[in-house]
Amino acid sequence: MSKQHITTTLNGEPTEFLCDTRQTLLDTLRNELRLTGTKEGCATGDCGACTVLLDGKATCSCLVLGVEAEGKDIQTIEGVAHEGELHPLQTAFLNNAALQCGVCTPGIIVAAKALLETHPNPTEKEVRYWLSGNLCRCTGYDKIIHAVMDAASAMRGEQP
């Protein structure tokens, strides 16, 4: 089967790639573009480890075909830190010890970024609701929720 030529914007940069029409966006990112920060936990859209932003919307990249990314803007965990600076969410995850094994962390940070871009001042309940598509088996979510709330506060310019 011949591969398709796809043109996208990936982490802010114009990016072209070839992909098999059967490949998911997740497979394309990991196997064709070698961006392995986006993780596969289930490939059925249940765990959120593969979350990316597709035109700004948090999306399970295992549920989208690579060819569907044509003309779209894709943001992955690799694009969250910018010009050598960690994003406030990344800093908050480190300071709150909000990861243990760390495999769910990229998906959760990307999903939380989408939340904070539209809801700069979320309640605890809103953060829990928003992240309920992202499974974490290590932490019990406590420190993750604290980290997202701390990052939101930092992004609003409040002193810690």
Partner 1 sequence: MSAKTTYKWIGSSPVRPDGVDKVTGRANFGADHSEPGMIYGKVLRSPIAHGRIQSINLTPALQVPGVLAAICGDDFPDADAVQGMSSGESPADMRDIARNVMARDKVLYHGHPIAAVAAMSPEIADEALKHIQVTYEALPPVLNLDQAMAKDAPLLHEDQITRGLPKKPTQASNIAAVLNLKRGDLETGFSQADIIIEETYTTPTAHQGYIEPHAVIARCNEDGRAAIWCCTQGPFVVRSLSAQVLGWDMGRIKVTPSEIGGGFGGKTTIYLEPLAVKLAEKSGRPVKMVMSREDVFRATGPTSASRTHVKLGMNKAGKITAADVKLECEAGAFKGSPMQTACMTALTCYDLENFNITGYDVVVNKPKAAAYRAPGAPLTAFAVESAIDQAAKRLGLDPIDIRLNNAAKEGTVAPYGAKFPPIGLVETLQAAKAHPHYCAPLKPNQGRGIASGFWFNAGMQSSAAINLNENGTATVITASPDIGGSRASMALMTAETLGIPYADVNAIVADTEAAGYCDVTGGSRTTFATGRAVIMAAEKVIVSLRERAAALWELKPEQVEWRDGQAHPDSEASAGADIKPLSLAELALSAAKTGGPISAKASLTAQGAGGGFGTQICDVEVDPETGKTEIIRFTVIQDAGKAIHRAYVEGQLQGGAVQGIGWALNEEYIYDEKGCMQNASFLDYRMPVALDLPMIDTVIVEVPNPNHPFGVRGVGETPIVPALAAVANAIDSAVDARMTDLPINPPKLLKQLSTA
Q: Give the footprint of partner 1 on this chain (CB under 8 A).
A: 20, 22, 30, 34-44, 46-47, 49, 76-78, 80-81, 86, 89-90, 93-97, 99-106, 109, 124, 127-129, 131-145
The residue among 47, 53, 15, 51 whose CA lies nearest residue 34 is: 15
Least separation in angstroms between residue 76's CB and partner 1 is: 7
Least CB distance to partner 1 at residue 87 (A)? 8
The CA distance from 114 to 47, in Å, is 17
Shorter beta-carbon distance to partner 1: residue 28 or 105: 105
For the chain, state the CA radius of gyration: 16
In the block, tokens 């760390």 appear at 102
| Closer to partner 1 by Cβ: residue 6 or 80 | 80
Q: Do 78 and 37 meet the contact criterion of CB atoms below 8 Å apart?
A: yes
Task: Report in angstroms how near the CB of residue 112 gets to partner 1 at its nearest.
Answer: 11
Element (H, E) at 113: helix 105-118
Greatest C-alpha distance within the chain = 56
Within 10 angstroms of residue 84's Cβ, the number of other Cβ atoms is 5
CB of 80 to partner 1, least distance (A): 7
| Residue 20 or 68 having the CB closest to partner 1 | 20
Specify the residue, 64 or 79, whose C-beta has the smaller distance to partner 1: 79
Is 90 within 8 Å of 122 (Cβ atoms)? no
**Smallest distance from partner 1 to CB 18, Å:** 14
When the beta carbons of 69 and 136 are compared against partner 1, the nearer one is: 136
